[in-house]
Amino acid sequence: MPRLVDAHIHLQDPRLLGREDYSARLDLARRNGVTDWVCNGTSPADWPDVEELSTEVPGIHPSFGLHPWQIPQQTEADAEAALRELDALLQDTPAAGVGEIGLDKWIRDPQLERQKVAFRAQLALADKHKRSLTIHCLQAWGHLLEILKDNPPSTPFLLHSFGGPEELIPDFVELGAYFSLSPYFFHERKARQLQAFRNIPLSRCLLETDAPDMAPPLSWGCNLFDAEQRSQPLQGPETLPQLFTRACDLWDISEEGLEERLRENFRNWWIHSDSAD
């Protein structure tokens, strides 16, 4: 059985953590080979849950960041306070990464310039504390590349659920990027994003679920549904083994070969990855 790492997930999300079968779904993922999860916080509101999960559940690696969706909802003073809290939290949590951070023009009233300020500040914190990075980007790829070129990260960084222009891949690779493939890209309408992963060096690829969101096609048979919006499919941590099987076909590689490659990639990206050895 392969030993798998979920490079990006939100196990603290109430839509997962609040389920009665939460532990059972983690156990099911483990029985099917998942050994490690990088659990990404998005704001001071959920950082304590991420921290608690990482101390109570073996294999969960914490990561703390101020998600770009949070910026428009905060005053500048609140954002500055959150960054100070993040600095202290990273100091107190040596095993934590920095993320989920990034840029997003897809949301309404994105306030991109304020996002950039917070993003640069968090890049600086990752450099200060020597932590791995997890970066989110939607419809702001040129801005992201410009900032990363002006402020080259000193630690490895992951472009999670990479859906950017294929022509920018070499630029991000040159900067040291890793790229994580999501089950969501196996929807027919996401064929372009899936094709891009055929052209990313396999030495820079990882797998993620981004659960509970970014659910795979319903044909996979592993979707959950939002209790408030029955039409909104969600997913749990047990999706990753199915993604792994399909990734073997995508990259035309054996399960043994892909497992070895992915675990090496994880060790190269995630600075604190002892439990994945």
The CATH number of whichever domain residue 155 belongs to comes to 3.20.20.140
pLDDT tier for residue 62 given thresholds of 50, 70 and 90: very high
* Residue 223: per-residue pLDDT: 84
The confidence score (pLDDT) of residue 273 equals 41
Instruction: Give residue 271's pLDDT.
Output: 76
pLDDT band at 227 (very low <50, low <70, confident <90, very high): low
Give the global pTM. Answer: 0.95
CA distances from 125 to 84, 88, 117, 210 (A): 10, 10, 13, 23
Q: What is the pLDDT of residue 250?
A: 97
Q: What is the pLDDT of residue 171?
A: 97
Closest to 244 in 3D by CA, of 26, 22, 7: 7
pLDDT band at 135 (very low <50, low <70, confident <90, very high): very high
pLDDT at position 275 is 40
Residue 58 φ/ψ region, left for φ over 0, alpha for ψ in the -120 to 50 degree band, beta for the rest:
beta
Average pLDDT over residues 76-96: 96
| pLDDT band (50, 70, 90) for residue 231 | low
CA dihedral for 71, 76, 77, 80, sign (positive or negative): positive
Query: If pLDDT is split at 50, 70 and 90, which confidence band does 88 have?
Result: very high
Label residue 224 by pLDDT band (50, 70, 90): confident
Residue range 133-153: mean pLDDT, rounded: 97
Residue-wise burial string across 52-84, b where 16 or more C-beta atoms lie within 10 A, e elsewhere = ebbeeeebbbbbbbbbbbbbeebeeeebeebbe
What is the pLDDT at residue 276?
A: 47
Give the integer Cα–Cα distance in Å for 14 and 65.
Answer: 18
pLDDT given for residue 232 in this prediction: 79
Cα dihedral value 187, 192, 198, 201, nearest 10: -120
Residue 78 structural domain: 4-276
179-189 residue pLDDT tens: 999 999 999 99
**What's the domain count of the chain?**
1
**What's the mean per-residue pLDDT of the chain?**
94
Taking residues 39-54, report their average pLDDT.
98
Give the model's pLDDT for residue 274: 44
pLDDT of residue 228: 59
